[in-house]
Structure 1
Amino acid sequence: MTLESPTRKSLRVSDKESKSVRTRTRILDAAARVLSTKGYAGTRLSDVAKAADLRAPAIYYYFDSRETLIEEVMWSGVADMRHRLEDALDEISPDLTSMDRIMLAVDVHLRHELEVSDYTTASIRNAGQIPERIRTRQIEEEKQYGEIWRRLVQAAADDGEIRTDLDLFIARMMVLGALNWAAEWWTPRRGSIDEVVATAQAAIRQGLAPRGRE
């Protein structure tokens, strides 16, 4: 009998693990697409399996229930957007004004929500439909994402770039609410994403900035 070398054996284990990771990702990607279009109530594992080109029972090898799969998608959507915004803010010039940093955050949020990630679209559209018991991780991510925005708005206020008659909490929540709502009404027929971003930036800048500094 020929003994299998440790190297060859380890490569086979690695290939198997890699295939498992790819299949799990495929399922998540499919679930994000289905959830973003059909909503929580309309998402069936059979639809997810069809979108992933798998048999429905195969999903249970990776996720023990429909709720576990949806919970992972919802968390991933917010976490991915948070990481993308953090990376974008880390890469910009330190000389950028506080208001320009907010404009960058508007750009990142809208592009990620509308163009980049089915996960984020699914998270935003279904936030009010998902039972509380499977939203724990998503809620924690939302708090961390909201904290980034809180710091951005506070810094702009400290620098005199936001009107002093505005309540900063209300202003921040109104901005985020408007950005999130774009997932409900936007289609390419209503204009390019560049136009959506530019319009949102202009409206938010003019709404927040002191008169004469728009």
Structure 2
Amino acid sequence: MPAKLPAPESSDTKAQRTRTRILNAAAQVLSVKGYAGTRLTDIADQAELRAPAIYYYFKSREDLIEEVMFCGISDLRTYLQDALDALPPDTAPMDRIMTAVESHLRHELELSDYARASIRNSGQIPGHLKTRQKKEEAAYDRIWRGLMKDAAAEGQIRADLNPPLAQALVLGALNWTAEWWHPRRGSVETMVSNAQVFVKHSLSPVPKKQRTTRRR
């Protein structure tokens, strides 16, 4: 089951718990139906509320969706940073990239409706609703940029690649899995392992022996 927002503490009010339930429902609906297809009535049904009750917690449909989109990318960034911080200090740059690939896919496909909603709808949301989301996207991008820069400095990125462009291609591929992946096509573990092989092989320098054989 996809993770929801953290369970409220006992001191939280009923209103706070209901607001969280609405956000969880909105994330689930938005991740499946998209921005254009998400209606307040669908969210209310998912949250087991009457639609007018939502306006007590959010001024409009747009405000609710903006909050989901922000939470999605913010949680994704936090999840990635926590995964990287948990690695030993001497972890090789390419291994850190492999951790980032796993973190991105697990959070996107398995753990969070919010992340899936944010990734799938990033290009559909009107610009005036994306201010906070863009700041979080930029912060997430900076983490990846640092990973790619460190790998390039250690000679773990092939010389004929432009690291920023390679990063954009990798993230584009990881994001796109939200559009087509289904458990029937393989487990998340299988998806992660295949993606790691794909990314590592694409980024890593070709061993000298292989280069010599190809020239011949």
> How high is the TM-score relative to the length of structure 1?
0.91
Q: What amino acid sits opposite 2:108 in the alignment? A: E
* 1:21 Cα deviation after fit: 1.3
Q: What is the match of residue 59 of structure 1?
A: 54
Mapped pair 1:33 → 2:28:
yes
Mapped pair 1:71 → 2:66:
yes
Mapped pair 1:167 → 2:162:
yes
Mapped pair 1:150 → 2:145:
yes
C-alpha distance in 2 between matches for 1:203 and 1:212: 16
C-alpha distance in 1 between matches for 2:16 and 2:141: 30
Mapped pair 1:194 → 2:182:
no
* 1:29 Cα deviation after fit: 0.3
* 1:18 Cα deviation after fit: 2.3
Moved over 3 A (4+): 14-17
* 1:198 Cα deviation after fit: 0.4
Q: What is the match of residue 178 of structure 1?
A: 173
Map 1:121-160 → 2, pairs under 5 A: 121-160=116-155
Distance 1:16-1:160 versus aligned 2 partners, 3 A rule? closer
SS of the aligned residue for 1:60 comes to helix
C-alpha distance in 1 between matches for 2:93 and 2:186: 28
SS of the aligned residue for 2:124 comes to coil
C-alpha distance in 2 between matches for 1:208 and 1:30: 39
* 1:19 Cα deviation after fit: 1.5
Q: What is the match of residue 108 of structure 1?
A: 103
Q: What is the match of residue 48 of structure 1?
A: 43
SS of the aligned residue for 1:113 comes to helix
Q: What amino acid sits opposite 1:99 in the alignment? A: M
Query: How many pairs align?
Result: 201
Gaps of 5+ in 2: 1-8, 211-216
> How high is the TM-score relative to the length of structure 2?
0.90
How big is each residue's C-alpha offset from its partner over 1:153-178, in whole Å with a ceiling of 9 and x where there is no partner?
A: 00000011000110111100000000
Q: Say which one has the larger Rg.
A: 1
C-alpha distance in 2 between matches for 1:127 and 1:15: 34
Gaps of 5+ in 1: 1-13
**Percent same amino acid at aligned positions?**
59
Aligned CA-pair RMSD: 1.5
* 1:94 Cα deviation after fit: 0.9
SS of the aligned residue for 2:168 comes to helix
How big is each residue's C-alpha offset from its partner over 1:108-131, in whole Å with a ceiling of 9 and x where there is no partner?
A: 000000000000000011111100
SS of the aligned residue for 1:124 comes to helix
* 1:15 Cα deviation after fit: 6.8
How big is each residue's C-alpha offset from its partner over 1:10-63, in whole Å with a ceiling of 9 and x where there is no partner?
A: xxxx97852211111100000000001111011000110000001111111110
Q: What amino acid sits opposite 2:30 in the alignment? A: L
C-alpha distance in 1 between matches for 2:120 and 2:152: 30
How big is each residue's C-alpha offset from its partner over 1:84-109, in whole Å with a ceiling of 9 and x where there is no partner?
A: 11111111101210000000000000
